[in-house]
Amino acid sequence: MNARPLSVAVIGAGPAGIYASDILSKSGLEVCIDLFERLPAPYGLVRYGVAPDHPRIKQIIVALYKILQRGDIRLIGNVEIGRDITVAELHEHYDALIFATGADTDAPLDIPGVDAPECYGGADFVSWYDGHPDHPRTWRLNAKEVAVIGVGNVGLDISRVLAKHAEDLMVTEIPSNVAAILGESPVTDVHIFGRRGPAQVKFTPLELRELGKQPDVDVTVDEEDFEYDEGSRAALAASNQQRQVVKALEGYAMQESEDLTASHTIHIHLFWSPVEVLTDDGGHVRGLRTERTRLNGDGSVSGTGEFKDWPVQAVYRAVGYAGSPIAGLPFDERRHVIPNEGGRVLGEDGEPITGVYATGWIRRGPVGLIGSTKSDAQETVSNLVADAGAGLLHATADDDAQVGHDAALALLDSRRVPYTTWEGWELLDAYERELGADFGEVEGDRGPRERVKVVARDAMTAISRGTDIPEDLIGQPEADRVPQRLVGRSEG
- The answer, yes or no, to whether residue 231 has pLDDT greater than 70, is yes
One domain, residues 392 and 260: no
Query: Is 184 part of a structural domain of the chain?
Result: yes
Confidence bin at 446 (pLDDT 50/70/90): low
pLDDT at residue number 59: 80
Query: Is 176 part of a structural domain of the chain?
Result: yes
pLDDT at residue number 484: 41
Confidence bin at 401 (pLDDT 50/70/90): confident
Query: Is 383 part of a structural domain of the chain?
Result: yes
Nearest to 71, CA basis, from 25, 3, 17: 25
Query: Which are the contacts of 293, defined by CB distance < 8 A and separation ≥ 6?
Result: 195, 196, 271, 272, 273, 301, 302, 303, 304
pLDDT at residue number 471: 63
pLDDT at residue number 486: 37
Tell me what the mean pLDDT of segment 418-427 comes to.
97
One domain, residues 222 and 177: yes
Query: Is 1 part of a structural domain of the chain?
Result: no
Quote the CA–CA distance of 155 and 195 in Å, as a whole number: 13
pLDDT at residue number 450: 84
One domain, residues 170 and 59: no
Query: Is 492 part of a structural domain of the chain?
Result: no
Quote the CA–CA distance of 234 and 180 in Å, as a whole number: 46
pLDDT at residue number 479: 39
Tell me what the mean pLDDT of segment 53-58 comes to.
73
- The answer, yes or no, to whether residue 475 has pLDDT greater than 90, is no
pLDDT at residue number 469: 66
One domain, residues 390 and 451: no
How confident is the prediction for the chain on average, in pLDDT? 91
Quote the CA–CA distance of 459 and 432 in Å, as a whole number: 11
Quote the CA–CA distance of 464 and 422 in Å, as a whole number: 9
Query: Is 246 part of a structural domain of the chain?
Result: yes
Confidence bin at 441 (pLDDT 50/70/90): low
| CATH for 129 | 3.50.50.60
One domain, residues 315 and 327: no
The structure's pTM equals 0.91
pLDDT in tens, 318-373: 999 999 999 999 999 999 999 999 999 999 999 999 999 999 999 999 887 776 78
Instruction: Compute how many other C-beta atoms are within 10 angstroms of the C-beta atom of residue 434.
Output: 14
Query: Is 473 part of a structural domain of the chain?
Result: yes
- The answer, yes or no, to whether residue 2 has pLDDT greater than 90, is no
Q: How many domains does the chain have?
A: 3
pLDDT at residue number 164: 95
- The answer, yes or no, to whether residue 440 has pLDDT greater than 90, is no
Query: Which are the contacts of 267, defined by CB distance < 8 A and separation ≥ 6?
Result: 189, 190, 191, 192, 220, 221
One domain, residues 193 and 302: yes
Of the candidates 264, 294, 321, which is a domain's last residue?
321
pLDDT in tens, 453-473: 889 899 999 999 998 766 655
pLDDT at residue number 442: 47
Of the candidates 377, 397, 414, which is a domain's last residue?
414
One domain, residues 269 and 151: yes
User: Could you give the percent of the chain with pLDDT greater than 90?
Assistant: 79
pLDDT at residue number 11: 98
Residue 332's domain comprises 6-104+323-414
One domain, residues 365 and 445: no
pLDDT at residue number 228: 97
pLDDT at residue number 1: 42
pLDDT in tens, 305-316: 999 999 999 999
One domain, residues 355 and 450: no
One domain, residues 161 and 253: yes
pLDDT at residue number 428: 95
Instruction: Compute how many other C-beta atoms are within 10 angstroms of the C-beta atom of residue 59.
Output: 9
Confidence bin at 492 (pLDDT 50/70/90): very low
Burial 107-136 (b: 16+ CB within 10 A, else e): bebebebbebebbbbbbbbbbbbbbbbebe
Q: Name the amino acid, one letter, at 120.
A: Y
Confidence bin at 173 (pLDDT 50/70/90): confident
Query: Which are the contacts of 424, defined by CB distance < 8 A and separation ≥ 6?
Result: 40, 77, 463, 464, 465, 466
Confidence bin at 424 (pLDDT 50/70/90): very high
pLDDT at residue number 230: 97
- The answer, yes or no, to whether residue 58 has pLDDT greater than 90, is no
- The answer, yes or no, to whether residue 159 has pLDDT greater than 50, is yes
Query: Is 491 part of a structural domain of the chain?
Result: no
Distances (CA, A) of 300 to 54, 212, 235, 271: 30, 28, 12, 11
Of the candidates 391, 414, 437, which is a domain's last residue?
414
pLDDT at residue number 470: 65
pLDDT in tens, 105-151: 999 999 999 999 999 999 999 999 999 999 988 999 999 999 999 99
| CATH for 40 | 3.40.50.720
- The answer, yes or no, to whether residue 485 has pLDDT greater than 70, is no
One domain, residues 13 and 76: yes
One domain, residues 138 and 74: no
